[in-house]
Structure 1
């Protein structure tokens, strides 16, 4: 399956190898926003060497030669506009031999990467310690009193630690660019994700007109799971909201809804306490959490999974005062 150009989060272009060398045929939105939009048919060497990309002329020539001869490139070089860039040819199974996809990803500096690692390490050291202390306390109580109820609390603490570890591994490995393998029905994935989360007496309402999307099903389910857990950790009793065309069970303290956006994407919303407007730009940062029950990694993972699919995610003001996450993507129907 070909990689959809706008599903690639990094600046990327498609090229075609002609007699005089590779030429640019298409660019994605990320490329246009970062470097401007070159004309179709522009020689790739010219596109890479001249401003605003600004690679060294010999480097640009070497990349074009490698693409023409083998179709394989994976180099890091300095650009005048974006600092260090990693240029990599991405395999596209159904492309012709003379066509290809080239990504231009900015390389994080050691200082930036160190800050990210330190943030995650701080979160892990703090948030793993809390459920670990809880488990130890209940084990002591179980030994002293022989009350089996304490073992349930130990299991819950272990589950919490396991989720934190899974989140950290997801961030450490990175999702990269996802090549969707199949059409996925959003309503089915949302319900499957809901069944794996401890939702207490909360309810899930799923819109009957949710689209089908091209996605990696397991990662999409993880996206929903993290959004649902976020609602459970930060939500509270609020006014019950309803949405047209939704199946919404009644009689629960927190209502979570999955529906369709006006542009054909989807949203996940709840009627809890919501997110203060001044904090909306921070919620995807590793370690950010307004609750002592959260590790502050779940929404970071949500954003990265969305970006790996080529989707944009936004947090608009919710009409009922709760939290609302919108995902803007091209659905298949």
Structure 2
């Protein structure tokens, strides 16, 4: 044996002197041997019960019990203890009986000292085998304990890699019972597509003395593929022979899935950071740059290789280095810090940036660095200036147009007024009052009209346009036009937005126009009526060739008066708004106008809100104009366009140099027209908030486009 562990030997022989001599020679032969001698089997049993021995050497022929009887007694209490029969009685029967009884070795006493060398060798060999067997049994016991108590699944394999046994955890993971799997090949647990690689691994395991750790797709009893982490081991004895093969494993499918999800989330985060218009960065406590987004490279002009591990301070103007260092220290101590500094580009240009950094910790709360965002202040300042410019422009526009803006939150009835609306009202509130108080600014007799319009707009999600009077603190009475439009969210009105326009001057002009219309209607029509009556009397008394011309002049005067009255109506002409079918109304207008042999192509299908009576007059005027200027056989087309409609003909058209004049009052190329028809058309469109324009049609005639139709 190569070990220096003492070998305790119990030598039993009824001759004391011979026993002492054997002990002396054995201990001389091998220093490991420690021999204790007794003279009887009974004394030997007593010594075995009281002390630990590694081997028993016994004589055969003894008075009380012979060597084989003593062997049987030893086996009762020490079944595996090596036993060598060393006897002077050398018969074949004794040797045969000894071997049959299970004695580990048999040696006959001989003359000379060489027999002690042989005996020492037999003892050490027997003890070596005994101890090896003990170690294997202990190892098997530990392996069995490991199998039963292991938190992982465990399989023991035969040398052909069939399942020899498995623990409960393995049954739980794989879904097989031990009875179902024992005796099965490893191939039952591995998908066919991966079996070649596993076969190579198992073949290598039988020739190599090392551990194998792999992740492997594994089949469960119901055919599900799970990802398992396997740890394969081959246990060998001192001679290198295989004692056993076993594998530990655990289901890591969830971990693999989590790792995949984390990788996807990491990739998504990287992409999201790269889409930022701001600079993203992570630095260590010493300012070393460890992570950044593409924006930093784009702004500075540095490559990722240049930025990697760079001191972030060197990316800024030298005068700002101390401020950057101070911000890093502040973020470490307080958790956050903000600093303004000039970022240097690769071309040595300076860009003002605001850096905000926060203390970055791992899941255990340990500090790992500073994460932050850098925002281009030059762009922010430009945007701020643009916003301020837009606000100033809106404010100036409101004041020039004498318009104020407002907004109502429908859920809370909170009201917002623009500054110019405060000025228009002549009030000095700190902020706009709630809706109930805001309506109180209007005269009591007009107040309900505004409230009803707001209530209807919220309920029906429709715009509104009403007029109401307001009395300033100085007693001046002003007229306001209040327009509102709903803002929808998920189909619900969440707020109303609109404008208030001071139309007091407009109302005064309307009053003047009413007075003018009254004069036209009374002071001009009465003399005309008298003239027409006198004409009739003249026709009864005589037949003059001049009388038809007089009648024609009277009729022209009546048309002029009618058109002047229409012009005098101004914006007042639009009143009740309703949903109009343009195609249907166009057909009705065609039938109401004397069109002769003219042809209508009605392609209109759109619907929109308008004052139907005024829209009717607009269409009739356009149809009449086309017939008068395009000829009796003119073709007139009425159709839709994206934000309105058009009326076109294939007549002679109007020269481009004359198109600016056609909408002016009194302009006409016909001796029969009043020259007010197209002026009335423009007035009707403007009263609706629309726009009318003139162009050449595809057939070379006139095309009137009405746009801005809601």
Task: Name the structure with the higher strand share.
Answer: 2
Q: Tell me the equivalent position of 1:104.
A: 501
Matched, 1:289 2:649: no
Matched, 1:89 2:460: no
Q: Offset at 1:289?
A: 2.2
Mapping 1:289-328, distance limit 5 Å: 289-328=668-707
Structure 1 residues 274-332: Cα deviation after superposition (integer angstroms, max 9, x where no partner)? 2222232332222222323222222122122222223221112223332211112446x
Structure 1 residues 53-81: Cα deviation after superposition (integer angstroms, max 9, x where no partner)? xx47945759966976252553599xxxx
CA–CA separation in structure 1 for the residues paired with 2:430 and 2:671: 53
Q: Tell me the equivalent position of 1:33.
A: none
Mapping 1:128-207, distance limit 5 Å: 140=538, 143-145=541-543, 154=551, 160-176=556-572, 178-182=575-579, 184-199=580-595, 201-207=596-602
Structure 1 residues 88-137: Cα deviation after superposition (integer angstroms, max 9, x where no partner)? 335999xx9x957433257769xx99xx99x999x9999xx99x999987
Aligned-partner SS, 2:622: helix
**Correspondence for 1:256 among 636, 639, 658:** 636
Q: Offset at 1:265?
A: 2.2
CA–CA separation in structure 2 for the residues paired with 1:267 and 1:290: 22
User: Contact between 1:45 and 1:60, CA under 8 Å: does it hold in 2?
Assistant: no
Structure 1 residues 33-64: Cα deviation after superposition (integer angstroms, max 9, x where no partner)? xxxxxxxxxxx242546xxxxx4794575996
Aligned-partner SS, 2:542: helix
Q: Tell me the equivalent position of 1:5.
A: none
CA–CA separation in structure 2 for the residues paired with 1:319 and 1:100: 41
Matched, 1:211 2:606: yes
Structure 2 gaps of 5+ residues are 1-401, 440-446, 448-467, 473-477, 487-492
Structure (1 or 2) with the larger CA radius of gyration: 2
Cα RMSD between the aligned structures?
5.1
CA–CA separation in structure 2 for the residues paired with 1:285 and 1:302: 11
Structure 1 residues 126-176: Cα deviation after superposition (integer angstroms, max 9, x where no partner)? 9xx99x9999879756753499xx88995x776655543333222222344
Aligned-partner SS, 1:258: strand
Matched, 1:22 2:419: no
Structure 1 gaps of 5+ residues are 1-9, 24-43, 50-54, 78-84, 238-251
Distance 1:192 1:48, change over 3 A: same
Higher relative contact order (CA 8 A, sep 6+): 1
Distance 1:213 1:90, change over 3 A: closer
Distance 1:306 1:152, change over 3 A: same
Mapping 1:233-252, distance limit 5 Å: 233=628, 235-237=629-631
User: Contact between 2:421 and 2:500, CA under 8 Å: does it hold in 1?
Assistant: no
Q: Tell me the equivalent position of 1:46.
A: 419
Distance 1:161 1:91, change over 3 A: farther
Aligned-partner SS, 1:232: helix
- Structure 1 length normalisation: TM-score? 0.58
Distance 1:253 1:88, change over 3 A: closer
**Correspondence for 2:437 among 69, 75, 83:** 69
CA–CA separation in structure 1 for the residues paired with 2:471 and 2:658: 36
Q: Tell me the equivalent position of 2:616.
A: 221
Task: Name the structure with the higher helix share.
Answer: 2
Structure 1 residues 170-229: Cα deviation after superposition (integer angstroms, max 9, x where no partner)? 2222344545223x2212211222222222x24232333532222222111111111122
